Amino acid sequence: MSTENVARLTERYRAGESSRQLATEFGLNKTSVVSLLRRHNAPVRNARMTPEHIEEARRLYTNGQSLVDAVVRSGRAASEAAAGHGVLWWLVQKALDAAAATLPDVDTLAPKRLGIGEHRYRSVRFFRADGNSPWQRVEPWMTTIVDLDTGRVLGIVDGRDSAGVGEWLFARPLARRLGVEVVAIDPPAAFRKALRMWLPRTAVSVDAFHLVQLANNAVTEARQRLSQEVRGRRGRAVDPGWANRRLLLRGAETFSTRGHKRLRDVFATDDPTGQLQAVWEAKEQLRTLLAFGSLEEAGDHLRILEGLVEAAPTVETKGSCGP
């Protein structure tokens, strides 16, 4: 930047123009403008809220719930919702944080779809009541209950077992519990007993990610078991099954011609009983089934999966891929 332009910029700033306005006009960013001003001993003014900023803040706090709805209901990122409403992304994030931190009076609400998940918020802690008491281990888990339609946090309970979740559900009015249609949980959730007791008529939903994860785990367990049974040892790099262990976990639609050939080699050399191929086929059928958006569309594929599970001579398929 020339000396003449620096002098003009400094003079106009002293006259009252803002660093943001000058940055736009001179093609600089605001940080560079402030750096130039300080280098030439111009007193830098503290930023003040402009009428535009005040109006933006007022609009956020007036329509904060609409911003939260724009993120939760549409599934968009906070930055996308901010662009759609003409505000800064951090204002949307602030509204989301405020909505999540405020627990409502849940007995006045009638959620139809709940999400329950455990969360470990720090490492294990040990404590004792006094110097003579034994040390006790504390597992820092908590369980969060949310309304899946609005994303609103309805309750937080200590621990991750059925006791805490059961007490929370028991405290809700019977009419509210009967109104719950679906509960989404993780497959290994420890609080399923509480759901069977207090929400016996409610359908339990598991997301596709965890179902596919269970199926992939079944493929890995079958591969490891067959290696011990056939070779009497763990897999090694010279074994096609071990060398292509990641290929077995990928979706078949992503395979190249070479990938399909590698898969056939695995089944031909490392799978004399056909068990690994049976588990892999069940896993792929489960992925095909989950690609459909409704039970009606997936009906035929569900029957195919049931047939594969029944015909598969493996404990892994019946344990992890069964309906």
How many CB atoms are located within 10 Å of the residue 176 CB?
A: 15
Tokens representing 86 are 């003409």
Task: Report pLDDT digits (tens) over 154-192.
Answer: 888 888 888 889 999 999 999 999 999 999 988 766 788
Task: Report pLDDT digits (tens) over 105-126.
Answer: 888 888 999 999 888 877 888 8
282 or 187, which is more confident?
A: 282
Domain residue limits, the chain: 3-39, 51-101, 106-205, 209-321
Predicted pLDDT of residue 169:
93
Positive or negative torsion for Cα 173, 179, 181, 184: negative
Predicted pLDDT of residue 252:
92
Predicted pLDDT of residue 280:
92
Residue 86, judged by CB atoms within 10 A of its CB (0-12, 13-18, 19+), counts as exposed
Task: Report pLDDT digits (tens) over 121-142.
Answer: 778 888 887 888 888 887 788 8
Provide the percentage of residues in the chain whose pLDDT is more than 90: 25
- Whether the predicted pLDDT of 211 surpasses 90: no
- Across 76-102, average pLDDT: 72
47 or 314, which is more confident?
A: 314
Residue 320, judged by CB atoms within 10 A of its CB (0-12, 13-18, 19+), counts as buried
Task: Report pLDDT digits (tens) over 16-70.
Answer: 888 888 888 888 888 888 888 888 888 887 655 556 655 655 555 555 556 566 6
CA dist., res. 55 & res. 181, Å (int)? 41
CA dist., res. 234 & res. 226, Å (int)? 9
